[in-house]
Chains A and B, each alone.
Chain A
Amino acid sequence: MVMGSSRRIGRILPAGVLLLAGCAAVTLDADLNLTPEMFAQRQMQTRRFDTADEQRILGTCASLLQDTGFTIDESETRLGVLIASKERDATDAAQWAVFIVGAFFGVTLPPDQNQVMKAFVTTRPVGEGGRQVAVRVAFERTVFDTEQRLKRIEPLNDPKMYQGFFEKLSKALFLEAHEF
């Protein structure tokens, strides 16, 4: 009996240790190096507009973010920078279904509840004599579960989100958005 249970612990323990260790989601070795994926990301997040008026673009980005429910956290016009955030419900019906089914089997998988979304916009003059302005936006979100525990911090990589943002920006500016 005693032998049996100690053997069982022996089997469970390594799995538990692995669970605790996991791997760090950000490392010093990897996260300060440019990789080809990062350039692909840049492409998806950037558009060019035919105007030399960088301030107007930045101002329009600010009102667009405001229109979509964001709060501006920080801005520096001289450097073409804008940071905004919003807190929203992250309830996912599928996760609740898993949670309820899991509860019958004694497994608790708390579903997502809140999320904080962040937007980071940069603008910069490009092209000959700075006749165009490149706009880049990056979105990320932090998700908490129903017990207010941190579940995920992740970049939002759906190209549709970026297309949607630039379509709206393009309309507000009365200018066409060019792929970078």
Chain B
Amino acid sequence: MNSDGLKRTLLRLIPLMLLVTACATTQDHLLDMSTSQVQLRSIQSRAFDTTDKEKTMRAVIATLQDLGFMLDRADYTLGVVTASKARADSMQMQVYASLRITVTVRPRGEKQLLVRASAEYQRSPVTEAKPYQNFFNSLEKAMFLEAHQVD
């Protein structure tokens, strides 16, 4: 094979290589595993000393509305609430940004409810503790109950 032929073959290979890497990253994103799952779950969860699922879910929704979120869906039976906050203003140079959050409420033992929040900011999962801390601080005020850290 002369060098021209080799070049042509390589050029043909490039799209294929791109395709292969694209597949790999999609798979990575589908099952994001960057932080330890156990650690992340603990950052995202709090237990409340109540068994009133309706009241808890209403407090979650009220908190999200207070924070300026728009609700996307709410399902009492599943105990799921999803909301998002997106803002942009091209005239004031505020770049589009969106924050999406799913909150689930389920029983934890006989006397508690476990509230878990998972957020997505600018197309990546939120894995730092601080934003969740802030969210649960806000939720505590609406619940009139203390949020307990869980392991």
Residues of A within 8 A of B (CB): 18-19, 21-29, 31-34, 38-39, 41-42, 74, 76, 78-81, 83, 118, 120, 122, 124, 136, 138, 140, 142, 149-155
Contacts and interface: CB of A to CB of B under 8 A. Distances in A.
B58 A136 contact: no
Nearest to A81: B74
Interface of B: 54, 57-58, 61-62, 65-68, 70-76, 85-91, 93-99, 119, 121-122, 126, 128, 130-132, 134-135, 137-138, 141
28 contacts: A22-B94, A23-B95, A24-B95, A25-B86, A25-B89, A25-B94, A25-B95, A25-B96, A26-B87, A26-B121, A27-B97, A32-B138, A33-B137, A33-B138, A34-B66, A34-B141, A41-B66, A42-B65, A79-B57, A80-B61, A81-B61, A83-B72, A122-B58, A138-B70, A151-B89, A152-B89, A152-B91, A154-B89
B125 to A, nearest CB: 12
Contacts, number: 126
A74 B57 contact: no
A76 B74 contact: yes
B119 to A, nearest CB: 8
B58 A38 contact: no
A80 to B, nearest CB: 7
B54 A151 contact: no
A76 B98 CA distance: 24
B91 to A, nearest CB: 7
Contact of B65 (A33, A74, A78, A136): A136
A103 to B, nearest CB: 18
A79 B87 contact: no
A15 B65 CA distance: 37
Q: Tell me if B's interface is mostly helix, strand, loop or mixed.
A: mixed
A28 B76 contact: no
B70 A120 contact: yes
A22 B95 CA distance: 6
A34 to B, nearest CB: 5
What are the 8 A-B residue pairs with the smallest beta carbon separation, nearest first? A25-B87, A25-B94, A24-B97, A26-B97, A32-B134, A22-B93, A78-B76, A22-B95
A136 B5 CA distance: 70
A25 B97 contact: yes
A28 B121 contact: yes
A76 B76 contact: yes
B65 A28 contact: no
Contacts of A124: 58, 62
A169 to B, nearest CB: 17
Nearest to B121: A28
B93 A19 contact: yes
A28 B71 contact: no
